[in-house]
Amino acid sequence: MAGKLYTTFILTAEGQELAYDTWKTDLHLLPGSRMGALVADYKKRDVKFKEVTADWWRAHPEIDAGKSELIKILTTKE
């Protein structure tokens, strides 16, 4: 239930504003999105985007291995 409430809220204009203020990103697919304007500008410059879906993520398990290695490097004291 909490997940449904969160999703419903985060897709509102107020939720998107909070998301942008907190994480400096919002859903680019929604009207009035700040990221949507940025994406549109990059597309005009012929920048290609890769849509990272759950299926794509599952097909690339090396991403998690690389993240774990980076965390180890950044948190290990010499």
What does the alpha-carbon distance between residue 32 and residue 11 come to, in Å, rounded to a whole number?
12
Q: Which secondary structure element, helix H or strand E, spans residue 4, and what is its range?
A: helix 2-10
Residue-level length of the chain: 78
Q: How many structural domains are present in the chain? A: 1
Percentage of the chain beyond pLDDT 70 is: 100
Q: What is the pLDDT of residues 39-64, one digit of tens each?
A: 999 999 999 998 888 998 889 888 88
Q: What is the pLDDT of residue 72?
A: 85
Range of the domain at 57: 2-75
What does the alpha-carbon distance between residue 39 and residue 30 come to, in Å, rounded to a whole number?
12
Q: What is the pLDDT of residue 67?
A: 79
pTM score: 0.60
